[in-house]
Amino acid sequence: MNLRNIAIIAHVDHGKTTLIDELLKASGMFRANQQTEERMMDSNDIERERGITILAKVTSLEHDGTRINIVDTPGHADFGGEVERILNMVDGVIVLVDAAEGPMPQTKFVVSKALNLGLRPIVAINKIDKPEQRADEVLDEVFDLFANLDADEHQLDFPVLYGSAKNGWMATDPDGPKDSLEPLFDMVIKHVPAPKVEEGEFRLLATTIQSDNFLGRILTGRIIAGEVTPNMAVKALSRDGSLIEQGRISKVLAFRGLERAAIEKGEAGDIVSIAGLQKATVADTICAPAVTEAIQAQPIDPPTLSMTFRVNDSPLAGQEGDKVQSRVIRSRLLSEAEGNVALKVEEAQGTDAFIVSGRGELMLSILIENMRREGFELGVGRPQVVMQKDENGKRLEPIEEVTIDVDDEFSGIVVQKMQERKAEMVEMRPSGGGRTRLMFHAPTRGLIGYQSELLSDTRGTAIMNRIFHEYQPHKGEIASRNTGVLLSNGNGEAVAYALWQLEDRGPMMIDPGTKVYEGMIVGEHTRGNDLDINVLKGKQLTNIRSSGKDDAIKLTTPLRLSLEAALSYIADDELVEVTPQSIRLRKILLDPNDRKRAMRASKKAS
């Protein structure tokens, strides 16, 4: 059968997963009356809740005698490692661009990787039915983007389709016909080359890894040469060609629609999954015993942000989760790093703690969210930037390209706040509809915790996108949080009367009846220093009746921080305590005397 392997790449929320839904329906994979879900490829619970794609996934469909393997890729920059890996499996890409927003930072990042590999793009301008669509301008922006990324003549001569994935149509003209996705299928078969097949025995580059309760480790990749069958003897080679293990293939699986079905034989050019090996992982070569050279894997961009994961040692530890030991946390983190090449795990010296490095706050917070849903309890420290050194020993820090779309009236405050964070503005232009597009080069350090502040400053109307740009010399000190915190000075349950009396000290973060302990953060102080308060003190009751009514206790709604907001809120001497049911903020040192000694010691050292 004829084969085509393609990836659909785009910025977050430009319609990749919706387009795949419609392609599967148009190919006849479902009965006419069959119930199907929206965003069928987003199988993970968090993907469904947040409406984003986190893991790259493969599906397959047939059209006019040609099997088309399609890879759905994440659209968020934090999951760029997923995209970099899967581009090795495909021979062409569909670049999906929103007809109103145009090419955004993540589009630029993934397209540059695809162009460097020599892949020829098909540009699909989506959401053409939007009233604010500007398809002609967006097409010019896409061409300029490709030119800036040093695309060759063949890549610049890209075909263009217009359409609406949600309404199930694509056409070579913005005005239609608006009845099918047939033009997209025809374009893929005509424009994307068949997979290149090399001579020789079986070779496959493992691109993604999954764990299965029955089959064990499942490795997915494209067969470069030869063919694979169940019970076949194979070996695994690392990137440098050294032997990892030898074994036999227990099962060969291929994608047929949304399901993965067992097949008798996988042939060169096809994307398959194999089971049976115990140690091989992503970027390893699975091959016949006679093969000696490993397949070259694409280098992955380094992590830019790290967090410290600790064993939860709070007084409430172990009451909500059942996975609290350091060995269990270590095992879970190592298994995550095995399947996610953009993640790096190191053990911190002398403590039950692990330093986990990744691409961004979202990537690490989703790892934490998955772990808490699995029953883990953790203490997580403030995100720290991963520094590097140049040949002269000078410190270099990661700089990100930040694009902010904001209403014109709020552009001034955004520019001011970004400059306070040592950002340099590189572009400012109108983006239509009374909005301005601002582009900055900003240190990653300065962006930690800025998302929530940006939404407050712009009344929730700003959209920020960021992507790693390069390493540059250290920009100097950046002012951090300018408020202190309110700390509980005892263990127990918070009392409404005490919270009411303390409200003038600052906004609270807890409700009455919440379990608290000494050193736990219960609110934000209105001043710059930390303050120990008693949230356990009830009203003194006497047998003397007071004249008039008692004051009715009316509490202000407390601050409720999401996991990402909590991680960006804490200071260097604080932790986020994460359990299956709660997210608490606390000091690393719970005892106030220990905190004072540590503060005196740091002043002497400085």
Residue positions forming the annotated binding site for GTP: 13-18, 126-129
Region of residue 168 (phi > 0: left; psi between -120 and 50: alpha; otherwise: beta):
left
Buried b (16+ CB within 10 A) or exposed e, 492-512: eebbbbbbbbbeebbebbbeb
Tokens standing for 474? 């250290």
Give the Å distances, CA to CA, from 332 to 307, 339, 550.
15, 11, 54
List the one residue out of 12, 577, 78 whose CA is nearest residue 361: 78
CB neighbour class for 434 (10 Å; exposed up to 12, middle 13-18, buried from 19): exposed
Whether residue 311 contacts residue 379, with contact meaning beta carbons closer than 8 Å, is answered with yes
Q: How many CB atoms lie within 10 A of CB 101?
A: 25
Q: How many CB atoms lie within 10 A of CB 572?
A: 9
Helix (H) or strand (E) holding 69: strand 66-72
Whether residue 15 contacts residue 98, with contact meaning beta carbons closer than 8 Å, is answered with yes
Cα 421 to Cα 414: distance, rounded to the nearest angstrom: 11
Peptide bond into 177 cis (omega under 30): yes
DSSP code for 241: S
Tokens standing for 111? 């397209």
Q: Which residues are annotated as a binding site?
A: 13-18, 126-129
Q: Is the dihedral of CA 260, 266, 271, 272 positive or negative?
A: positive
Phi/psi of residue 331, each to 5°? -60, -40
Buried b (16+ CB within 10 A) or exposed e, 103-136: bbbbbbbbbebbbeeebbbbbbbbbbeeeebbbe
List the one residue out of 175, 193, 271 whose CA is nearest residue 228: 271
Helix (H) or strand (E) holding 599: helix 592-605
Q: Is the dihedral of CA 354, 359, 360, 362 positive or negative?
A: negative
Three-class secondary structure of residue 246 per DSSP: strand
Which residue, chain included where needed, has tokens 């263990």?
A: 491
Three-class secondary structure of residue 388 per DSSP: strand
DSSP code for 519: T
Q: Checking DSSP bridges between strand 384-385 and strand 388-389, what pairing results, if any?
A: unpaired
Which residue, chain included where needed, has tokens 């329906």?
A: 25
Helix axes 135-148, 105-116, angle to 10 degrees: 50
Cβ contacts of 419 within 8 Å, gap of 6 or more: 425
List the one residue out of 239, 236, 205, 193 whose CA is nearest residue 86: 205
